[in-house]
A and B are shown apart, each in its own frame.
Chain A
Amino acid sequence: MSLDLRPLFPELAVVAASLVALVGDVFVRGPRARMAWPVAGVVAVSVAGVLVWRAGDAAFGSLYARDALGNALQAVALAVAAVGLLLARDYLVRTGLDRGEYYALVLLSTVGAMLMVASQDLLFLFVALETLSLPLYVLAGFARDSHRSQEASLKYFLLGSFASALLLYGVALVYGVAGSTALSRLAEADASFPLLVGLGLVVVGLGFKAAVVPFHAWAPDVYEGAPVPAVAFMSVVAKVGAVGALLRILPATVPHLLSAWQPLLAALSAATMLVGNLAALRQTNLKRMLAYSSVAHAGYLLIGVAAGSDAGVWSAVYYLAVYGAMKLGAFGVLTFLERAGVEADEVEDLRGLADRSPAAAAAFAVFMASLTGLPPTAGFVGKFYLFTAALEAGLLWLALVAVATSVVSVAYYLRAAYTAYLGPARAGVRVLRAPWAGVGLGLSAGATLLFGVLPGPLTSWAQRVAALLR
Chain B
Amino acid sequence: MEVLLFAVSAALSLAGGVGVVAARQPVHSALSLLLVLGSLAVLYLTLAAEFLAVLQVIVYAGAIVVLFLFVIMLLHARPPESRPSPVGGQWGLAVPLGAALWAGLSYAVLRLPAGGRELPPEFGTTEAVGRELFSRFLLPFEVASLLLLVGIVAAVVLGSSPAPPSVPPRSASGREEA
Chain A residues with CB under 8 Å of chain B are 1, 3, 8, 15, 22, 60-64, 95-97, 99, 101, 104-105, 108, 111-112, 115, 121, 123-124, 127-128, 130-131, 134-135, 137-138, 141-149, 152-153, 169, 173, 176-177, 179, 192-194, 197-198, 224-227, 285, 339-346
Chain A residue at minimal CB-CB distance from B135: A1
Interface centre among B146, B157, B163, B172, by most chain A C-beta atoms within 10 angstroms, is B172
Q: A8 to chain B: closest CB distance in Å?
A: 8
- B138–A143 contact, CB under 8 A? no
Contact A148:B173 (CB < 8 A) given known A123-B140, A131-B146:
yes
Contact A127:B172 (CB < 8 A) given known A145-B162, A169-B105:
no
- A343–B169 contact, CB under 8 A? no
- A134–B147 contact, CB under 8 A? yes
- B172–A149 contact, CB under 8 A? yes
> Does residue B128 face the partner (Cβ distance < 8 Å to A)?
no
Chain B residues with CB under 8 Å of chain A are 104-105, 107-109, 111-113, 117, 135-140, 143-144, 146-147, 149-151, 153-154, 156-158, 160-164, 167-174, 176-177
Q: Which 10 A-B pairs have the closest CB atoms?
A: A145-B162, A96-B167, A194-B108, A144-B162, A197-B108, A96-B163, A148-B172, A341-B168, A138-B154, A176-B112
A sample of 27 cross-chain residue pairs with beta-carbon separation below 8 angstroms, ordered by A number, consists of A22-B153, A61-B138, A63-B140, A96-B164, A99-B157, A108-B150, A123-B137, A134-B150, A135-B154, A137-B154, A138-B157, A142-B157, A145-B162, A146-B170, A146-B172, A146-B176, A149-B171, A152-B172, A169-B105, A192-B111, A193-B111, A194-B111, A225-B173, A227-B172, A342-B170, A343-B174, A346-B174
Measured between beta carbons, the chain B residues less than 8 angstroms from A179 are 117
A146 to B104, CA, bound (A): 41
Q: A422 to chain B: closest CB distance in Å?
A: 19
Measured between beta carbons, the chain B residues less than 8 angstroms from A169 are 105
A339 to B153, CA, bound (A): 31
- A144–B170 contact, CB under 8 A? no
A144 to B104, CA, bound (A): 41
Chain B residue at minimal CB-CB distance from A145: B162
Contact A62:B150 (CB < 8 A) given known A224-B172, A342-B177, A346-B174:
no
Q: A181 to chain B: closest CB distance in Å?
A: 10
- B108–A97 contact, CB under 8 A? no
- B111–A144 contact, CB under 8 A? no
A15 to B147, CA, bound (A): 12
Q: B156 to chain A: closest CB distance in Å?
A: 7
Contact A138:B144 (CB < 8 A) given known A62-B136, A144-B163, A224-B173:
no
Measured between beta carbons, the chain A residues less than 8 angstroms from B161 are 144
- A101–B108 contact, CB under 8 A? no
- B171–A15 contact, CB under 8 A? no
- B154–A342 contact, CB under 8 A? no
Measured between beta carbons, the chain B residues less than 8 angstroms from A193 are 107-108, 111
17 further contact pairs, Cβ within 8 A, besides A62-B136, A145-B171: A22-B153, A63-B137, A64-B139, A95-B167, A99-B157, A108-B146, A108-B153, A111-B146, A127-B140, A131-B146, A135-B154, A143-B172, A148-B176, A149-B171, A194-B108, A197-B105, A197-B108
Measured between beta carbons, the chain B residues less than 8 angstroms from A128 are 143
Q: Which of B113, B135, B158 contacts A177 (CB 8 A)?
A: B113
- B172–A225 contact, CB under 8 A? yes
A169 to B137, CA, bound (A): 20
- A145–B170 contact, CB under 8 A? yes
Measured between beta carbons, the chain B residues less than 8 angstroms from A198 are 108
Q: B131 to chain A: closest CB distance in Å?
A: 10
Chain A residue at minimal CB-CB distance from B107: A193
Contact A145:B172 (CB < 8 A) given known A22-B153, A138-B153, A176-B112:
no
Measured between beta carbons, the chain A residues less than 8 angstroms from B139 are 8, 60-61, 63-64, 124
A97 to B172, CA, bound (A): 13
- B150–A138 contact, CB under 8 A? yes
Q: A60 to chain B: closest CB distance in Å?
A: 6
A146 to B172, CA, bound (A): 6
Chain B residue at minimal CB-CB distance from A349: B174
